[in-house]
A and B are shown apart, each in its own frame.
Chain A
Amino acid sequence: QKEVEQNSGPLSVPEGAIASLNCTYSDRGSQSFFWYRQYSGKSPELIMSIYSNGDKEDGRFTAQLNKASQYVSLLIRDSQPSDSATYLCAVRDASGTYKYIFGTGTRLKVLA
């Protein structure tokens, strides 16, 4: 059973701080990784995708990938109360079926 693991949280950070969200995956052959944000009662919305080892920055968001450690993370700089949501990590199956496997999500609370 291929798995994507996330700490369910909640992760509480003060406004303006850096929030660090982590994800590990079991399928060593995975090549594509995604972070989604999901507000309560809403559907997931894509924040970032990352495919290569290292960092990828987009505004206040930075995704980090380490395939050797099977680890992907999302950093949110200058966290705002509006960032309070559940963050889902998704990994595309490497076996050739192209399905996306999601973690259970980490709930982030940014305290004003």
Chain B
Amino acid sequence: GAGVSQTPSNKVTEKGKYVELRCDPISGHTALYWYRQSLGQGPEFLIYFQGTGAADDSGLPNDRFFAVRPEGSVSTLKIQRTERGDSAVYLCASSREITGELFFGEGSRLTVL
């Protein structure tokens, strides 16, 4: 596609529920990144993929968070047993290669009640 596409744009859920956030990167971009941004803060690194494999998942806050990219294109960020503190905008970005410039999607705003 022309840009990075993220769905849903907004997700409201209840504490304890399971959530999936999807990212479709720019066609041909091999690297895909997930960030989380809270109000007034910069994007916080979560995980990035080079191809199908997670090259660095050091930013995932705990084992409730998991991400996959099974075919090297679309990625899904999965959050189990959501907590109110998980509320944030989840940003996905892609780049042509791991040394390239990042291009962001519009984000998925997650609200946990």
Which A residues contact B (CB, under 8 angstroms)? 4, 6, 8, 32, 34, 42-46, 49, 88, 90, 92, 97-105
Interface residue? B65 (CB, 8 A):
no
Chain A contacts of B41 at CB under 8 A?
Answer: 104-105
Give the bracket for the number of chain B residues in contact with chain A. 20 to 34
Q: Which residues does B use to contact A, with CB under 8 Å?
A: 31, 33, 35, 40-45, 48, 50, 55-56, 58-59, 91, 98-99, 101-107
CB-CB under 8 A for A42 and B102, given A104-B41, A105-B42: no
Q: Check B33 against A99 for contact (C-beta < 8 Å).
A: yes
**A-B CB contacts (within 8 Å), total count:** 55
Give the nearest-CB partner of A105 in chain B. B42
Q: Give A85 Cβ to nearest chain B Cβ, in Å.
A: 13
What CA separation (Å) do A110 and B106 show in the bound complex? 24
In the bound complex, CA of A49 to CA of B102 (Å): 10
Whether B33 lies near A103 (C-beta < 8 A) is no
Q: Judging by beta carbons under 8 Å apart, are A97 and B105 in contact? A: no
**Sample of 13 A–B contacts (CB below 8 Å):** A34-B101, A44-B91, A46-B101, A90-B102, A92-B99, A98-B31, A98-B48, A99-B56, A100-B102, A102-B44, A103-B42, A104-B40, A105-B41
